[in-house]
Chain A
Amino acid sequence: MQPQATNMTINSSVSSQTAIWLTRIKRSSYIFPLAGLIAVSLVMIVTTENFLSSDNFLNIARQVSINAIIAVGMTCAILSGGIDLSVGAVMALSGTLMAGTMIAGVPLVAAIFIGLGVGLSFGLFNGFFVAYAGMPPIIVTLATMGIARGLGLIYTGGYPIDGLPEAFAFFGRGSLLGVQTPVVIMLLVFVVAYLLLNKTPIGRYIYAIGGNEEATRLSGVRVARYKLLVYSLSGFTCALAGLVLSSRLMSGQPNSGVGFEMDAIAAVVMGGTSISGGRGSIIGTLIGAMMLGVLNNGLNMMGVSPYVQNIIKGLIILFAIYISRERKKRR
């Protein structure tokens, strides 16, 4: 009996690994995004001269990093069935606060922590109203978007804060082991988010809440707690993006980040995450953000006006959602 039992365990473990992988591939949501990224890249290779240069690749990676970092928090919010519209404003506020406190003589590290703390607090604020007051995320985060933007403008009087200490440039302009710091930060954030979403109970709860909040609650999961966490995460990633941006510009810009929520949502949706929650992946979001970056970069090189770029982006979001709906219908 004993050997037989051991055998069965081994067998079932082997088959379990294959079954897990098979369904992962079958249900993988990044086949379409990846195809999209390749298609967009091919178009750019054909139509522009310098697209394939290594300089340009580094360029794209760096340009993408800020939106990609924000999109990580956005992914969590959307997976849980919510959304966060306050990302751009919270990013701007965190960035200006870092710059402002630094100018006011607060030590660099402390100033950074203040900025990150403010982002986190705004996330908690959003999360409280969504999770415990039961208000719709779209309204709550729209309101905090206004509040954060206003606070940033009051704090700075509407002017950029310049003259930041040289050391601060590391986060936006420096490099670590030959890779630009923004890209390193972005990759770190994605690794952490990947582990969180795919390997921990918290990640499973986030998906489950988006899949069926009521069923999740009734099975004994403290849904409100995890929703609070999701918005806090989003606030924190915004602040990280604010750190990178302020450092890159060496300036705290109260007017930065306008319309960033659109780019972040675009990256998430183009990455195959369902806008109604429950389905999607963080890797998809990275691909989506890259796709958006390639598109921006290529259109710039082709000399397409930024105004037209907005329209193209809007159409691509529509198309991405259309495809994901069609896929869902077929299932």
Chain B
Amino acid sequence: MNTVLRLEQISKGFPGVKALTNIDLSVGKGEIHALLGENGAGKSTLMKILSGIYQPDEGRILVDGEERHFASYNEAVAAGVSIIFQEFSLIPDLDAVENIYLGREYTNSLGFLTRKTMRAEARALFKKLGIDIDLEVPVCGLSVAQQQFVEIAKALSLNAHILILDEPTATLTPSEAEHLFAIMRELKSRGVTMIFISHHLEEIFEICDRITVLRDGNYVGSTDVADTNVDNLVEWMVGRRLEQAFPPKPAPQINPRKILEARLVQLAEGGPINSFTLHEKEILGFAGLVGSGRSELARAVIGADPAYKKEIYYLDNKVALRDTAEALEGGIGLLPESRKTEGLIVDFSIRDNISINNLKKYRGASPFINQRMEYDTTQEVMNRVGVKAPDPMTVVGQLSGGNQQKVVIARWLNHHCKVLIFDEPTRGIDVGAKAEIYTLMRRLTNEGYAIIFISSELPEIVGLCDRVAVFRQGTIVATLAGDEINSNEVMRYATTGN
């Protein structure tokens, strides 16, 4: 087999993080090569280097045996390397043909568009791929799968012979995915080489020839699909890693009290239906891959986003939880996934951010806020969670990620809250701050809070949670407890569903 693509000893660092260390990858002509690894393993970074979006710090890229330096995405495209992103780069209001020829439209001698030629060419292209698409409607009117096919057609019309598909199936239904695979097989027979990123192991066994696994930015190994199995791959992906210090877990509770019970929650008509129970003083993990519907379920349950159907019991009383204000009244707080856009008012002071949902308390019977009490209470809560800042009037935007997260936590401690939902609380913060957050979370459950902990990082799910609900494609496929909570178990459920 002749190798069309070789990456040798690729390394890449970003300020404060080493994203990739000495990665090797070699892909043969007409091969479908799976790139596998947990969230944050470095897959996307590697593919961005291959497609010219990032430049490697070290290492070589060889296409057809020749060393190449792609200074930009366009240079990679010109060399026949195209990438289909998770988020599409199509312009929603233009139709398929306009999108495919965007920036390189065919024109006649007068400078007018020759739409007919473009259309005919596009139609021929789609026909070759066996794709049936309405070329007249804006692409936003097409299904997600069809939009993906348009992206693929666009890449092929650019003479791509190396195609990178970054989690193309994440947003597809099973039958759409099958259609995509048929197209991929067709491309393969035409000699197009593909790098396929997916978290769904069974897809990889179905469509891929070879697999390369990355872990924490390191190269773990490559193998033929025929020579491996699910357990083996999970082992490679999860590996044995540096022990992170987690606070000790308490002994399992006997007959724990139910704090929050969500029954038959359905986000959209015809969508998956989920139920779960949160016990007092526990950390319940929501594990799963990015996009597996963890945040969506949690947010719908507490009324942050609308649900199609739900039945919620809070301390055995049925509650409506129509919006976050009702959740707050009931004692349920959300720490959203995106600190800066959903969690904090970045330009405002720590005091303003912490007291935003506590103001009525500082007002008492008077119409006015008692600002001294507000300030002093803020100072107290800051000390309680360990926010490091000169004073409560410090602007939140000036704090480190870890301290910002503590400000978000502090907002909810000032309440009668019993339930806190932590959505990816450690994303983008350094190791030391992470450990502090873990300790804080465990302290809170000891003080009587119940926590739902949504995380894409396996070690913290395994290290911190008393029970873990594993999500796959919008459904809770398993709820693990005690010794069942280990990386391999969780990863297997998240990627295969059983």
Contact = CB atoms under 8 A, between A and B. Distances in A.
Interface string B352-365: 10011101100100
Interface string A6-21: 0001001101110110
Contact of B368 (A17, A195, A331): A195
Contact of B348 (A200, A205, A208, A222): A208
A217 interface: yes
A215 B324 contact: no
Contacts, number: 101
A278 B368 CA distance: 20
A284 to B, nearest CB: 16
Contacts of A13: 372, 376
Nearest to A328: B347
Contacts of A22: 393
A220 interface: yes
Given A12-B376, A20-B371, A218 B342 contact: yes
B344 A199 contact: no
Q: Size range of the interface on A? A: 20 to 34
A204 B325 contact: no
B336 interface: yes
B346 interface: yes
A121 interface: no
Contacts of A279: 347
Contact of B369 (A9, A12, A200, A211): A200
B187 interface: no
Interface in A187-239: 195, 199-201, 204-205, 207-208, 211-212, 214-222
Interface in B364-387: 367-369, 371-372, 375-376, 379
Of the listed residues A199, A204, A215, the one surrounded by the most CB atoms of chain B closer than 10 A to its CB is A215
A195 B356 CA distance: 17
Contact of A16 (B344, B345, B372, B395): B372
B162 to A, nearest CB: 40
B175 interface: no
Nearest to A212: B345
B452 to A, nearest CB: 15
7 contacts: A16-B375, A20-B371, A199-B371, A205-B359, A211-B345, A219-B324, A220-B325
Interface of B: 304, 323-325, 327-329, 333-334, 336, 341-349, 352, 355-357, 359-360, 363, 367-369, 371-372, 375-376, 379, 391-393, 395, 411
Given A208-B356, A215-B343, A221-B356, 6 more contacts: A9-B376, A199-B367, A204-B369, A212-B341, A219-B357, A278-B345
